């Protein structure tokens, strides 16, 4: 799991000092980190907090804890809570499927805190539906962009938008066509 989540989760945090015990003690480090970052982070740039919204284990951190933390984080200067999950216990039981973590973002957003959804969001229509339905304010992609770096352009086209393509991409495409013959091998002499 994430370091801050190791403090938040009652499964991982067995401390008896001011950084353990009840919710307030377990949340202390996260809130102190937010305050420290907010002091140096430019006011005009958004500050996002990624959380594990649930441990997926009975008696662990859960979505109600996340909603409570999200309110405190917003008051401390966080602009959006990015809702992931899991990672604190080998006992976790996660039912994985398309958009399986989006309900956590929806719960945070319903509490009045802007949220980001993650987790097997792979299709443009799926991402758009989460935004249109109000489940989140932002869709964040990771593994899908590793698999398909041009996903944003594909998404824009499939959703009826005209993607902005930087001029550098056009030059690269032209150079590629000029230097790679139809057989696919680069037109470079062996040295």
- Provide the annotated active-site residues: 2
Beta strands (DSSP E) in 41-100 are: 48-52, 80-84
Q: What's the rounded Cα separation, in Å, for the pair 153 and 15?
A: 47
Q: Are 60 and 89 in contact (CB under 8 A)?
A: yes
Pairing of strands 115-117, 138-139: parallel
Cβ atoms of 75 and 69 within 8 Å: the answer is no
Are the CB atoms for 68 and 23 separated by under 8 Å? Answer: yes
Rg of the chain on CA atoms, in Å: 21
Orientation of helix 63-75 relative to helix 23-40, angle to 10° = 40
């Amino acid at each position: 799991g994430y370091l801050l989540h190791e403090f938040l989760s009652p499964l991982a945090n067995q401390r008896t000092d001011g950084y353990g015990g009840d919710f307030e003690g377990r949340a202390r480090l996260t809130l102190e980190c937010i305050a420290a970052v907010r002091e140096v982070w430019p006011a005009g740039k958004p500050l996002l907090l990624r959380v594990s919204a649930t441990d997926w284990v009975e008696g662990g951190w859960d979505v109600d804890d996340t909603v409570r933390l999200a309110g405190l984080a917003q008051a401390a200067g966080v602009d959006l809570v990015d809702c992931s999950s899991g990672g604190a216990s080998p006992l976790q039981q996660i039912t994985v499927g398309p958009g399986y973590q989006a309900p956590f973002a929806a719960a945070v957003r319903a509490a009045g805190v802007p949220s980001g959804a993650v987790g097997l969001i792979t299709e443009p229509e799926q991402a758009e539906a989460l935004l249109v339905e109000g489940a989140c304010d932002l869709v964040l992609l990771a593994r899908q962009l590793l698999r398909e770096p041009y996903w944003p352009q594909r998404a824009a086209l499939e959703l009826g938008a005209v993607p902005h393509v930087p001029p550098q991409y056009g030059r690269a495409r032209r150079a590629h066509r000029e230097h790679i013959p139809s057989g696919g091998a680069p037109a470079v002499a062996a040295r």
